Chains A and B, each alone.
Chain A
Amino acid sequence: DGGITQSPKYLFRKEGQNVTLSCEQNLNHDAMYWYRQDPGQGLRLIYYSQIVNDFQKGDIAEGYSVSREKKESFPLTVTSAQKNPTAFYLCASSIGGSSTDTQYFGPGTRLTVL
């Protein structure tokens, strides 16, 4: 089955700890994205990557870091510098980085900071 997988589904972290969220896709998509969703809020773009070894900051990149060493993988690290990390994190991919390309989402990771 082709698709996007995210792991873990639920993640609990103590304050001051870094944590890495996994995102893998086997759709052969060039572009990948990370969003954050808070209750009652729209999705907000954290980082995106249109090609391997290249990525750009989105609207709320502070306190986050990413890497894109492989086409199929785009992990997100939530660092201790992120002041309010508890949220629903969604990874997406699209065939290219064009404005008309449909983005497909993974099932998400719910991060809770204790």
Chain B
Amino acid sequence: RKEVEQDPGPFNVPEGATVAFNCTYSNSASQSFFWYRQDCRKEPKLLMSVYSSGNEDGRFTAQLNRASQYISLLIRDSKLSDSATYLCVVNPLAGYSTLTFGKGTMLLVSP
């Protein structure tokens, strides 16, 4: 089983739609979880950290399910500018920042 798995997409949605991505991870001892956003041919940028209780930042909501070992990202009211690849990132080691990246899920928002 791959360490961090994501559906590569692309997810094609119209503006205003709600879209959700899931990501599964294999190491049950993983400590930290993040969603990064990567635009085409650019560097990844932190979108949000994922906390055990779930967290929301504007139109974005992240959830963690430790029992099933997955994290999710929900985007409401999609904008054209949300078009990007969303990377699921897991830190499997307590005390050390060695991130494991998923391959990413591509989102395309159309007018």
Contact = CB atoms under 8 A, between A and B. Distances in A.
A100 B102 CA distance: 18
Contacts of B46: 102-104
B97 A42 contact: no
B61 interface: no
Interface string A28-70: 0001010100001111110010100000001000000000000
B99 A98 contact: no
B34 A102 contact: yes
Given A90-B43, A104-B46, A99 B91 contact: yes
Interface size band for A? 20 to 34
B18 interface: no
A100 B31 contact: yes
Interface of B is mostly: loop
Nearest to A108: B43
Interface residues on B, range: 20 to 34
B32 A42 contact: no
A8 interface: no
B31 A99 contact: yes
A31 B97 CA distance: 9
Contacts of B41: 88
A48 B91 CA distance: 14
A45 B97 contact: no
Contact of B101 (A42, A99, A107, A108): A42
Given A42-B87, A94-B97, 11 more contacts: A33-B97, A42-B4, A42-B101, A42-B102, A42-B104, A43-B99, A48-B97, A48-B98, A50-B96, A58-B98, A101-B97
